[in-house]
Amino acid sequence: MLVIENAHVICRAFGENNVIIVENENIGMNLTLHNPKGIDAELGMEGRLIYKEGPVCQLVSFEPSMVEELV
């Protein structure tokens, strides 16, 4: 399994195959992941994700980053 820190969800699609597309600006990489478990990854969220490589990459987990709000 592979880990991407600071992954940013830029696209998601639901249907026969749940799919999300994430971007990591630090390494300039976009990755399309199948999301068979229906893990909640809202558009625009940023966080750490774990995925399994194969002919079709599968999302294993997504942990959103904690964002502090300035008051």
Any idea what DSSP says for residue 16? S
Q: What are phi and psi of 13, to 5 degrees?
A: -140, 140
Contact 49, 61 (CB under 8 A): yes
Task: Assign 28 a pLDDT band (cuts: 50, 70, 90).
Answer: confident
Ordered domains of the chain (ranges, CATH): 2-64 (2.40.50.220)
Count of Cβ atoms closer than 10 Å to residue 59 Cβ: 22
- How far, rounded to the nearest angstrom, does the alpha carbon of residue 27 sit from its chain's CA centroid? 15
Count of Cβ atoms closer than 10 Å to residue 51 Cβ: 21
pTM of the model: 0.80
Q: Average pLDDT, stretch 4-24?
A: 90
User: What is the reported pLDDT for 25?
Assistant: 81
Output the six-digit token pair for 6.
């600071």
Task: Assign 68 a pLDDT band (cuts: 50, 70, 90).
Answer: low
User: What is the reported pLDDT for 40?
Assistant: 85
